[in-house]
Structure 1
Amino acid sequence: MTKPLITILDDEPAIRTMLSEALEDAGYDTQSFARAAEFEAALRRSTPDVCLVDLGLPDRDGLSLVHRLALEQGATVIIISGRAQVQDKITGLELGADDYIIKPFDPAEVVARVRARLRTRAIPAPTGQTARFNGWTAHFDRYTLQDETGAETPFSHAEGEVLRLFLESPNRLITRDYMQDTLGGAAGDSFDRAMDVRISRLRTKLREDPKNPRLIKTIYGAGYIFLGDVTWT
């Protein structure tokens, strides 16, 4: 059985070594890179299951790389960064990252977060790869939303997880606790903020009125309801 491949992009040798050892002890294969150029060259040869990406890279801004990984390749991306400001977290999540871990960290936490993301991706899709609803078509095989004119807007893997969750349970309350259990990730304020960012971006891509959204309704103190008729193929 092939082991999941985890790539590590960080310019600090000690961190690369620490993460590689912890992940390999947990049963994963790893590849480590100090520069974005080396990392991108490797992506053309193999596709990792999870990418661990530092934002402070010597040859490129890590945020732009996260954006490309999430939108163009649908990769699972976990940011590992010394940037602890709330705005940095929001920006990383908005650009498509699935999770955000602040340095310094316990390697066991990183392993747990990686395991959670892999568990989420391993859940079989019971309802197909294409969903049609309210004039929209969501293509989960290529991570795009298509409107009635045929114009397409890409969405990230992280946004796609939330969208699929809504489309598989239309007209039903989706609680925060259920989202946490289903999607994984860190509990508490970090998870809530990540969901807020992803839902906000989905509303924008669905051209929702932020003051009165038609499709993704917030039920304050409870969760969300997706209002729509959904057909899967």
Structure 2
Amino acid sequence: MTADQPHVAILDDEPEIRRMLSDALQEAGFRTTCYGRATEFEAALRRTAPDVCLVDLGLPDRDGLALVHRLALESGAAIIIISGRAQVQDRVTGLELGADDYIIKPFDPAEVVARIRARLRKGRSGAANTANSASFAGWKAHFERYMLVDDSGRETSFSHAEGEVLRLFLESPNRLITRAQMQESLGGAAGDSFDRAMDVRISRLRTKLGEDPKNPRLIKTIYGAGYIFLGDVRWS
């Protein structure tokens, strides 16, 4: 294993699942680290920065959804939930809290490998440029550290999932972006779960940008069509 291989952190309290996932991912060319408890997983994240976090919701020492939400706010990793909770509302909640994907147990390890590859591939191809920051309407977005900075220097963090949406808008300013285009660019299954997840992420971005929810000036909803980001954008 070499340092340039994508690193996947696996958090699950079942040793058999950790072993199965780790073996499949290593065979596919990934580096892996495994954790059985949230406390040791969070301690490790202070020292390392994985590319992907696989997180089980049924943890013995922490609420899994709360952990996913914190990871979405503080980590630059893609977050994939692996859970036995199969209800639609559980999947919607996980995506709304910032997860990038949701896999239901029992699963085929090959499917997990394919989902991770798809997520990393979209992460590489989704950006139209390699710039790490963009200035617009009195704000500067720093994508390498997931931070918005206003003219006064005040900083507001955004999640990995919110950053994907923001970058999509900033790379196509003053152009209609349809729901279908968002789904194609950002991944995930089309349908109500995806639409609700996008609505939540856009709502949070508007709040962080100080937008009036009834009359936003930057991210405009075109009902029945999609969204338009209004403003001049300068990448650096």
AA aligned opposite 1:100: Y
CA deviations over 1:103-137 (Å, ceiling 9, x no partner): 33333332222112111232366162221211222
Corresponding position: 1:221 with 2:219:
no
CA deviations over 1:48-83 (Å, ceiling 9, x no partner): 110001122111222332233232232211112233
Shift in Å, 1:34: 1.0
Corresponding position: 1:113 with 2:135:
no
Shift in Å, 1:162: 0.6
2:180 is matched with which residue: 177, 182, 186?
A: 177
Corresponding position: 1:4 with 2:14:
no
For structure 1, the residue ranges without an aligned partner over 5 or more in a row are none
* Count, aligned residues: 233
Match of 2:97 in 1: 95
Shift in Å, 1:183: 1.7
Q: Is the 8 A contact 1:22 1:107 kept in 2?
A: yes
1:1-233 counterparts in 2 under 5 A? 2-123=4-125, 126=129, 128-233=131-236
Q: Is the 8 A contact 1:93 1:198 kept in 2?
A: no
State the secondary structure of the residue aligned to 1:214: coil
Q: Is the 8 A contact 2:12 2:37 kept in 1?
A: yes
Cα distance in 1 for partners of 2:123, 2:178 equals: 20
Cα distance change on mapping 1:206 and 1:90 into 2, 3 Å:
farther
Shift in Å, 1:192: 2.2
Q: Is the 8 A contact 2:96 2:196 kept in 1?
A: no
Cα distance change on mapping 1:194 and 1:105 into 2, 3 Å:
farther
Moved runs in structure 1, 4+ residues, more than 4 A? none
Cα distance change on mapping 1:90 and 1:3 into 2, 3 Å:
same
Cα distance change on mapping 1:186 and 1:111 into 2, 3 Å:
farther
Percent of aligned pairs with the same amino acid: 77
Cα distance in 2 for partners of 1:100, 1:201 equals: 21
Cα distance in 1 for partners of 2:161, 2:35 equals: 24
Cα distance change on mapping 1:109 and 1:210 into 2, 3 Å:
farther
Q: Note the aligned Cα RMSD (angstroms).
A: 2.2
CA deviations over 1:139-170 (Å, ceiling 9, x no partner): 11211112232211100011001100100110
Cα distance change on mapping 1:67 and 1:115 into 2, 3 Å:
same
Q: Is the 8 A contact 1:113 1:186 kept in 2?
A: no
Larger deviation, residues 84-93 vs 178-187? 84-93
Q: Could you state the TM-score of these two structures normalised by the residue count of structure 2? A: 0.87
For structure 2, the residue ranges without an aligned partner over 5 or more in a row are none
